A and B are shown apart, each in its own frame.
Chain A
Amino acid sequence: MRKSFSGVWATFEYLDDICAAIQELRNKGYAKLTTHTPCPRHEIDDALGNPQSSIPYFTLAGGIVGFGLAVLVIIKMTLNWILPVSGKPVVSIPIMGPIAFELSVLIAIFFTIGGLFYLILRDTWRHTRPGSKKYKSYNRFMRDRFGLVVPCDLDQIEEVESIFKKYLAEEVIVEN
């Protein structure tokens, strides 16, 4: 069963404040941070150490599957019902081009969407977040506020709280 959340979360009005708080927390060894931003910001990525997504592997796999599927479908169906056209080869490689391209794109897109959901769910599962009503109903993260969630033990709460206050967090909420 998933662990219940123990830690501190805070909201910030300014981007530079939250970035500074993230850097200090990472320097002190807090690795499993979750941030909230109204839009993607490279400053946050930099502060978090520029993590990379493995989505491209899903896309590549999808492209290969789509290409293979197209070639197989065309060969199977063409040989199943021989339809000679103007003396051209029954199984012709150039005519596979458009359909192989389209199916590669289509399946690559499906794999990308699947990968996107899988990776987001996996990371969300790995990084515990507060279960309180206050956190769940806080509705300014997608508007104009930045949020930072730090899971920690009881003896670390005071330290995290002091870092948040040092960087002028708007609200600091302790949950355990």
Chain B
Amino acid sequence: MSQITYGSINDSVAESMLPPGRRWIIAFLFILSALSMGVFAFAVQLRHGLEWSGISHPINWGVYITNFVFWVGIGHAGTLISAVLYLVRAPFRNSIYRASEAMTVFAVMTAGLFPIIHLGRAWYAYWLFPYPNQRELWVNFKSPLIWDVFAVSTYMSVSIAFFILGLIPDLAAIRDESKGVKRFLYAIPSFGFKGTNHQWLHYMRGYLLFAAIATPLVFSVHSIVSWDFAMSGLPGWHSTIFAPYFVAGAIFSGCAMVLTIMIPLRKAFPGFSAIIKLKDLDGMAKMIIFTSLIVTYAYTVEFFIAYYSGAKFERALFWFRPFGEMKWYFWLMVFCNCLVPVSLWFKKVRSNIALLFIVSLLVNVGMWLERFNIVGTSLAHGFDPFAWGNYTFEWVEIWITIGSFGWFFMWFFIFVKIMPSIAIAEMKETLEPPLRNKNA
């Protein structure tokens, strides 16, 4: 393996930003076609209304809210890796955090679409915000849904600011590696950064504060998302375990998505293999093991509390989940989230890139199903037997879901070509600096 130097990191990253090749273009067209189908399906839903989705009585929160929670969860890992792992100086963070942050921003951008899609009358989305109006009618601050609007908006703003702040020195490095128009274009967002001691001093202090502030934010956002459910009285939702359970689940799915993204990225750009090391992927795999255990524990505790509480509606729901007509979603979720990650206890699996990739995909599937289980099965089996029901997936919501992946990956594909997908300055920090007297 070639020796990594300050200069070689610049070269590897600059190489990844060369004009796209044929494979990139074909993959991008594929992604755009998925997105186009999603947009078309959404247009159909706008024209005909929510009856074209599977949302119906009693499951009034269906695939769209499932997707919302899923994408917010994916968005968690980026800030976790950037902020929390920065504060604890985790060694596997540096090579993967930039792409994870980008993933966060794009995932939250995707998540933000789903409450609007779910509204049906999307053009009234602004009613969620407290804006001055003639009747002085304000939003209900006692509702967790309003807290969620504030939480997700803040999280998105902070994630974008954190992402851009982290990019400034690297854009300056790319600016200095470029010529002509490209140099001019990178000079604008690098804000004249030249790596002076004054710039680094305030920048690093500001970055540390960002990390310190973003850390509680990571935990607050998904806790608040969980309260959308937990503050209602519905069996399966009304539980105090929801906040930590959602946060652990979010980190679990986010780490899996980081692997889903980083493994192809490492393969696509040969220079990245020396930078994104196997031990970095191994670190993420260990995070998956840890969070999988928490999630499994949460699943178990939910069942135990349903039994121990003696609440008959709660017991009925937790019987319905594994044995009712929606049982397949539950058992598939258990397989993907509890059993598949057990394979990561073996080093042979963690050091096998192909297996790691498969595990990460299955965890993503499992975490989507977990959200569907929470949303769907709870609503399907409420208090009154006459109001019980099942869920039928319609083509409109399936295509909107596929389109959301198209939307997410479209931004990611653009990102890897126009922005440094490895944090140049932070990678340099991890190297031994050039010293004349190595024993000094």
Q: Which residues of A contact B (CB under 8 A)?
A: 13-17, 33-41, 43-45, 48, 51-53, 55-56, 59, 73-74, 77-78, 80-81, 83, 85, 88, 92, 95-96, 98-99, 101-103, 105-106, 108-109, 112-113, 115-117, 119-120, 123-124, 127, 129, 139-144, 168
Contact = CB atoms under 8 A, between A and B. Distances in A.
Interface string B207-245: 001100110110010001000000000000000000000
Given A41-B433, A109-B157, A113-B161, A77 B195 contact: no
Contacts of A117: 191
B136 A81 contact: yes
B158 interface: yes
A36 B195 contact: yes
Interface centre among A17, A56, A73, A139 (most CB of B within 10 A): A139
Interface of B: 5-7, 10, 130, 136-142, 144, 146-147, 150-151, 153-154, 157-158, 161, 165, 169, 172-173, 175-177, 191, 193-206, 209-210, 213-214, 216-217, 220, 224, 424-426, 428-429, 433-437, 440
A159 to B, nearest CB: 21
Nearest to B191: A117
B436 A35 contact: no
B158 A106 contact: yes
A122 B233 CA distance: 55
B6 to A, nearest CB: 4
Contact of A14 (B172, B194, B199, B434): B434
Contacts of A17: 436
A55 B138 contact: no
Interface centre among B147, B216, B434 (most CB of A within 10 A): B434
B165 A15 contact: no
Contacts of B436: 13-14, 16-17, 168
A143 B173 CA distance: 6
Contact of A77 (B130, B172, B435): B130
A132 to B, nearest CB: 14
B220 A120 contact: no
A62 B285 CA distance: 37
Interface centre among B6, B197, B210, B213 (most CB of A within 10 A): B197
Contacts of A78: 138, 141
Given A14-B436, A105-B158, A98 B203 contact: no
Contacts of B176: 139-143
A102 B214 CA distance: 11
A38 B6 contact: yes
Given A38-B6, A77-B130, A143-B177, A116 B202 contact: yes
A39 B428 contact: yes
Given A112-B209, A112-B210, A143-B177, A81 B200 contact: no
Contacts of A48: 197
Nearest to B209: A59
B191 to A, nearest CB: 8
B395 to A, nearest CB: 37
